Amino acid sequence: MSLNNVQHLHQSFSEEEQKVQQLLSAMTLSEKIGQMSQFSGNEGFISPDLAEAVKAGKVGSVLNEVDVNVVNQLQHIAVNETRLGIPLLIGRDVIHGFKTIMPIPLGQAASWSKDLVKQGAKVAAIEAKTRGINWTFAPMIDISRDPRWGRIAESFGEDPFLSSVLGVAMVQGFQGNSLKDKGSIAACAKHFAGYGASESGRDYNTANIPENELRNVYLPPFKAVADAGVATFMASFSDLNGVPASGNEWLMKQVLRKEWQYQGFVVSDWDSIRQLSVHGFTQDDKQSAYEAVNAGIDMEMVSSTYQNHIEDLIADGKLIIAQINTMVANILTVKFKLGLFENPFTNQDDLPKVLNQQHLAIAKQSALQSCVLLKNSANTLPINLNKTNSIAVIGPLANDGYEQLGTWIFDGEGKDSKNCLDAIKDVVNGDAEIHFEQALSNTRSKDTQYFTNAVATAEKSDVAILFLGEESILSGEAHCRSNIDLPGCQEQLIEAIAKTNTPIILVVMAGRPLTLTNIIDKVDSVLYAWHPGTMGGPAIADLLFGKQSPSGKLPVTFPRNVGQIPMYYAHKHTGKPASQDMYVHMDDIPQRAPQTSLGMAATHLDTHFSPLFPFGFGLSYTHFKYQNLLLSTDKLKFNQPLKVTVEVLNTGDIDADEIVQLYLRDLVGSVTRPVKELKGFERVHIKAGETKTVTFTLDTKDLAFFDRNMRFNAEPGEFLLWIGGNCEAQLMASFSLEEEH
Ligand code: NOJ
């Protein structure tokens, strides 16, 4: 992973230092606390209270104000009507687009394309900037291994390596080459840390993560973006091992500042400092302010414990002014780096228009590359218009521009979307009849009254495309589910249509992996589109009719049922690993079978131990063959690079992209190692019949992990290495890392 091109963000921190110190020395304590306070905007106007607070120097940042005139007016008060004229940070959740909406981050992760993730974030930054926004709360890089958790939609999925690479790409897209550039905004790495491990996939729930697992799995994406110069971090809402993140001194000081030498600033989550007392971690707001300052949460989002208590805490001798100065300096540094002191105001004419053709083209490309083909029996896809006279388009998500956008689209609008039904009509262009039947008013509906129409529509058509899944509101923050089947009576709809014998193509739009076990055998093809964003329709239509081949790969494991969760490919081997030999289903157990007769293995009796679809999986309209896996050595020395090459052959008759994936296993470790870990990937375009050689270079640090003393080391011994198109790749080689002499 190359992080070099953003290193200058660090280098120039020192240039700002002098200006920051000068300003700090002129500030009163109240003005300093003001910089540490973020207020909520009023969405479209400035309330007298907010105007007064800004004027009094009590506000460092405002979030949720997107009217450019209002933002300019707020900046005018801050710059021209306060004693020191310090401009405001204007924050907004621009999670996967502002007006031009990209696929949800989990969908973008399925593209495995750092270029597209970067370009998508650049588009989002430019569009947000037209409204005066200079700070977004993204990327969200919480490792997410529980699809019940609604916020998995906002994440890059289950894998530390993929999340690190894509997290860095998103930061680069938002922040550009310089935060001072017209189209750049400050990014925010969130939620630090461990939020994705919320128990039972219920949002805001407790996370208990052993330190070793935290360092090996949950922290690497945060370290990667810290190294890449992300301007800010956000503390998580959750309790991590008994200490809520917003008061977690170990996390913020020991890990972030001391070990990682992080230079930006840390913001709390919404009201999360006040909530320290709700957790039962502090007894009141005053103690919450104390714990948060002491932990190093530089800015308080929305709640006002800093405003109300820091002065007293200093007077009581509990906090010292030097702590406050450091925190304020962190915030002012980012303001200087953004160039806000020189350019506090926004002139929309300086920036490209929102929703312009170029932005829409990037959104389409991102949607195209994020769709994952999970099943394609008898080559039902792509639809051949020479052989198809009529097409049934069925389902509540076929023509709903809003629901294809997904969670966290504060500013995106359904009216700007291109939906699937319209896009199919465009592509078909009169070459086949199209019969549309919505069948259900929404994805949760249990009303079967239109099923007869839907069945009749399918019956009279050569093929039926079903657009089912989850509406946007069923995933995202605080939108968790305990059952992740298709909601409502969508499974019944599939069953009813399956009786017609018309081939069924299921297009799923959803904010999470759904459990498809009940219906997977009833449909011929499944294209998993996540929530694909503004240009979802044209992208999906191109894939359905073979203008492009699907190329997305799963960034997260698809379980067969909820009882298998947590389920992720990089699990540990255990002392009694599951295997096909040992596997018995409860239906096959003889009555009164002796206790140990089944063998003893890490399996469930009522479901297979494998997932429905593994991590990294995704089909194409062509086939790829992997061969000639070669390593530069099978006896590797410390600090010697390992060069790995493989040939990938496109054996079909269409050109297509493949995502080549490299996995490693360290066979013996001083702490047990996962059965496989992704250590490299590359999206390659391979023409029909062509063979491409793909090369990866691994360093000793790619073999390293945190050991039981929390030292990051590679350990000598045997390694297995696989390359292929998903985590179950079979092409394998081995090598050893030799003892150091
Ligand atoms: C709460 C969410 O957890 C966080 O991700 C978001 O950025 C803030 N609210 C601000 O809206």
DSSP for 313-371 reads HHHTTSS-HHHHHHHHHHHHHHHHHTTTTT--S--GGGSPPTT-HHHHHHHHHHHHHH-
- DSSP label at residue 217: I
Please compute, for residue 160, the number of CA atoms within 13 A of its CA located in the half-sphere on the CB side: 22
Element (H, E) at 111: helix 105-111
> By C-alpha distance, which of 232, 236, 294 is closest to 264?
232
Amino acid sitting at position 723: I
**Ligand 1 pocket residue status of 269, Cβ below 6 Å:** yes
Q: Is 405's pLDDT higher than 90?
A: yes
For residues 292 and 300, what is the distance between their CA atoms, to the nearest angstrom? 9
Which residue's CA is the closest to the ligand 1 atom numbered 7? Answer: 137
Please pick, among 269, 411, 542, 666, the residue that the annotation labels catalytic. 269
- The 8-class DSSP code of residue 425 comes to H
Candidate from 234, 271, 299, 411 with most ligand 1 atoms within 8 A of CB, to mutate: 234
Domain spanning 624-737 has what CATH number?
Answer: 2.60.40.10
Q: Which atom of ligand 1 is nearest to the CA of 154?
A: 5
Phi-psi label, residue 194: left if phi above 0, alpha if psi -120 to 50, beta otherwise: left
> pLDDT tens, 655-711?
999 999 999 999 999 999 999 999 999 999 999 999 999 999 999 999 999 999 999
Q: State if residue 408 touches ligand 1 by the CB under 6 angstroms criterion.
A: no
Q: Which of 64, 185, 270, 479 to mutate to test the pocket of ligand 1 (most atoms within 8 A of CB)?
A: 270
Report d(CA 106, CA 371) in Å as an integer.
11
Report how far apart, in Å, the C-alpha atoms of 400 and of each of 126, 412, 420, 467 are: 26, 14, 8, 10
Report how far residue 287's alpha carbon sits from residue 161's, in angstroms, rounded to the nearest whole number: 38
pLDDT in tens, 609-643: 999 999 999 999 999 999 999 999 999 999 999 99
Q: Under DSSP, is residue 4 helix (H, G, I), strand (E, B) or coil?
A: helix
For residue 570 the two structure tokens come to 């990089």
**pLDDT, tens digit, for every residue of 158-215?**
999 999 999 999 999 999 999 999 999 999 999 999 999 999 999 999 999 999 999 9
pLDDT (tens digit per residue) in 373-400: 999 999 999 999 999 999 999 999 999 9
Closest CA relative to residue 535, chosen from 397, 362, 656, 356 = 362
Q: Is the CB of 190 within 6 Å of ligand 1?
A: yes
CA 598 to ligand 1 center in whole angstroms: 49
Q: Determine which residue's CA is closest to atom 11 belonging to ligand 1.
A: 93
User: 679-701 burial, b for 16+ CB within 10 Å, e for fewer?
Assistant: bbbebbebeeeeebebebebebe
- Residue type for 460, please? K
Residue with tokens 């009529």: 390
Question: What is the Å distance from ligand 1's center to 121 Cα?
Answer: 18
Q: Candidates 62, 65, 92, 93: which one to mutate for ligand 1, based on the most atoms within 8 Å of Cβ?
A: 93
The C-alpha atoms of residue 519 and residue 516 are separated, in whole angstroms, by 6
For 535-573, how does the pLDDT look when each residue is reduced to its tens digit (9 = 90+)? Answer: 999 999 999 999 999 999 999 999 999 999 999 999 999
Say what the alpha-carbon torsion angle 412, 415, 420, 423 is, to the nearest 10 degrees.
Answer: -120
pLDDT confidence of residue 13: 53
> Residue 403: CA atoms inside 13 Å, Cβ hemisphere, count?
21
Q: Which residue, judged by its Cα, is nearest atom 4 of ligand 1?
A: 269
pLDDT at 5: 44
How many CB atoms sit inside 10 A of residue 77's CB?
18
Mean pLDDT of 46-74: 98
Find out whether 577 and 556 touch, Cβ atoms under 8 Å.
no
Is the N-terminal amide bond of 559 cis, ω within 30° of 0? no
Compute the distance from residue 270 Cα to the ligand 1 centre, in Å.
Answer: 6
Residue 131 has pLDDT above 70, yes or no: yes
Give the ligand 1 atom nearest the CA of 64. Answer: 11
Expressed in angstroms and rounded, the spacing between residue 191 Cα and the centre of ligand 1 is 9
User: What whole-number distance in Å separates Cα of residue 61 and Cα of residue 326?
Assistant: 17
* Confidence category of residue 598, pLDDT binned at 50, 70, 90: confident
Question: What 3-state class would DSSP assign to 224?
Answer: helix
Span from the CA of 407 to the centroid of ligand 1 (angstroms) = 12
Cis peptide leading into residue 566 (ω within 30°): yes
CA of 66 to the centre of ligand 1 (A): 16
The answer to whether the CB of 134 falls within 8 A of the CB of 98 is no
Checking phi first, is residue 93 left (phi over 0); if not, alpha (psi -120 to 50) or beta?
A: beta
* Contact by Cβ (8 Å): 451, 445: no
Any idea where the domains of the chain sit in the sequence?
624-737
Contact 122, 174 (CB under 8 A): yes
**DSSP assigned state of 61:** E
Nearest by Cα to 192 from 233, 162, 139: 233
Nearby residues of 393 by Cβ (< 8 Å), 6 or more positions away: 420, 421, 424, 434, 435, 436, 437, 464, 465, 467
Q: 234 C-alpha to center of ligand 1: Å?
A: 9
Q: State whether residue 91 is helix, strand or coil.
A: strand
Residue 204 near ligand 1, beta carbon < 6 Å: no
CA dist., res. 36 & res. 61, Å (int): 8
- Is residue 270 lining ligand 1, measured as CB closer than 6 Å? yes
Q: Is 142 near ligand 1, meaning CB less than 6 Å away?
A: no
- Between the CA of residue 201 and those of 191, 235, 284, 345, what are the distances in Å? 15, 19, 29, 42
pLDDT-derived band of residue 8, with 50, 70 and 90 as boundaries? very low
pLDDT of residue 3: 41
DSSP bridge partners of 190: 140
Percent of the chain residues past pLDDT 90, beyond the cut: 96
Identify the residue whose C-alpha is closest to ligand 1 atom 9. 270
Give the closest residue (by CA) to ligand 1 atom 1: 270
| Ligand 1 pocket, residue 93 CB under 6 Å | yes
- CA distances (Å), origin 644, targets 632, 637, 721: 6, 15, 9
Q: What percent of the chain is modeled with pLDDT above 70?
A: 98
Distance 684 CA to ligand 1 centre (A): 36
Alpha-carbon distance of 357 to 391, in angstroms, equals 30
* C-alpha span between 369 and 113 (Å, rounded): 8
**pLDDT single digits (tens) 355-374:** 999 999 999 999 999 999 99
- Quick one: pLDDT band at residue 45, thresholds 50, 70, 90? very high
Helix (H), strand (E), coil (C) string for 636-682: ECCCCCEEEEEEEEECCCCCEEEEEEEEEEECCCCCCCECCEEEEEE
Q: Are strands 265-267 and 232-235 parallel, antiparallel or unpaired?
A: parallel
269 is catalytic: yes
Mean predicted lDDT score pLDDT of the chain: 97
Q: 35: how many CB neighbours lie within 10 A of its CB? A: 31
The phi and psi torsions of 120 (rounded to 5 degrees) equal -60, -40
Ligand 1 pocket test target in 301, 302, 479, 480 with most atoms within 8 Å of CB:
301
